[in-house]
Amino acid sequence: MPTNKSPGMDGLTVEFYRAFWDILGPDLVTVWAESLQSGVLPLSCRRAVLALLPKKGDLRDLRNWCPVSLLSTDYKIVAKAIPLRLGSVIADVIHPDQTYTVPGRSIFDNLFLVQDLLELGRRDGLSFALLSLDQEKAFDRVDHGYLLSTLQAFGFGPQFVSFLRVLYASAECLVRLNWTLTEQVSFGRGVRQGCPLSGQLYALAIEPFLCLLRRRMTGLVLREPELRLVLSAYADDLLLVVQDPGDLARVEACQAIYLAASSARVNWVKSSGLAVGDWRQVGSLPPAL
C-alpha cells in the first residue's frame, strides 16, 4: 500500500501498521473474520471522513466538487486484498474496450484509438461522429443493490458478494466543512473514492450499460479489416462511435434503461461531440452536444 497518505478518523497511518504488523496483524485478521460472520464491520471501518476537493468550473455548484473518503487504514488493508484477487479475473468479465483498472490495459489504448479513427477518417474519407458521454457523479450514484446484483449476474460467488455486502453495510460518513465535521450520514449509493476497491467496482457496475450499447448500436463498420467499432471507455468517460443516425436514439434508450437500474445519469454539460468528415450526409448531432 502507498505511504504518506491521509489517515482515517483514528489517525493511524500505513507506516504505523507496517511498523507494528507483527503485533497487530493477528488481531486484525480475527476482527475481520468475526465481521464477516456477523455481517457488520467495526464502526471505525464503516465510518469515513468525506473531504470535498474542488474541480474546475463554478465552485458555487456542488457538482464541481469531488468527494473523497478518508478511510481508516485497517479498512483499506482488507479492501486492498480484494483487488489483488479480482485483478486476476476481471479481464475475463470486462470487455477490452473498457481499460479502467484492468491489468494490462491503459488509458493510452483509448487515446491511440481516437488518433487512429481520426487518421482513418481523413485517409478514407469516412463520415462519422465521436460522442463523449460523461456520467454525472458517476462513482457517487452507483446503487448498492444494483451493484451486488450485477456481481451475481457476472457469476461471482455468494461468498465474494457477501464480503462486499459487509464492506458497505451500515456505511456512513462525516463531511468535513471548514475544518469541522458534520453529524454522521448513512448512504445506500456510491462507491467510495479513496477505497482501493472503488475503481474495479465501478468498472463492473457500468459494464452492463456498455454491453447494452455494444448489442444495440451499429457503430462504425469497417470492411478492411472486417471490424465494428462501437465504443471506448475509461471508467465513466465514454466515447461512442456513431455512423448510423439511428444510433443516437438507441443511445438515449440504453441510457434510460441504465438510469432505471442503477440511478446513473449523463452529465450533458460535460458531454461533447466531434463530427468527422461530412457528417451532414449522415445526420445531426444531438442539440445537447
pLDDT tens sequence across 70-98: 888 888 888 888 888 888 889 999 999 99
Q: Is the pLDDT of residue 137 over 90?
A: no
In the chain, where does DSSP find H-type helix? 14-19, 21-38, 43-46, 73-86, 90-93, 107-124, 144-153, 158-168, 198-216, 246-262
Confidence at residue 288, expressed as pLDDT on a 0 to 100 scale: 47
Mean pLDDT (the chain) is 85
Please name which of 233, 224, 254 lies closest in space to residue 102, comparing C-alpha atoms.
233
The confidence band for 231, taking pLDDT boundaries of 50, 70 and 90, is very high
Distance between CA atoms of residues 49 and 124, nearest Å: 53
Give the burial class of 76: count Cβ atoms within 10 A of its Cβ; 0-12 exposed, 13-18 middle, 19 or more buried: buried
The confidence band for 34, taking pLDDT boundaries of 50, 70 and 90, is confident
Confidence at residue 154, expressed as pLDDT on a 0 to 100 scale: 92
Joined together, the cell numbers standing for residue 282 give: 449522415
Confidence at residue 240, expressed as pLDDT on a 0 to 100 scale: 95
Return contacts of 38-43, CB within 8 angstroms, 24+ apart: 39/162, 39/165, 39/166, 39/169, 40/166, 40/169, 40/170, 41/75, 41/166, 41/167, 41/169, 41/170
What would the mean pLDDT of 41-59 be, rounded to a whole number? 83
* Least confident span in 19-33, 66-80, 133-147, 271-285: 271-285
pLDDT digits 0-9 by tens, 98-120: 999 999 999 999 999 999 999 98
Q: Is the pLDDT of residue 212 over 90?
A: yes
What would the mean pLDDT of 1-26 be, rounded to a whole number? 85
pLDDT digits 0-9 by tens, 242-262: 988 899 899 989 999 999 888
Confidence at residue 257, expressed as pLDDT on a 0 to 100 scale: 92
Sheet of 128-134, strands arranged across: 231-234, 237-242, 128-134, 272-276
* Cβ neighbours of 266 (radius 10 Å): 20
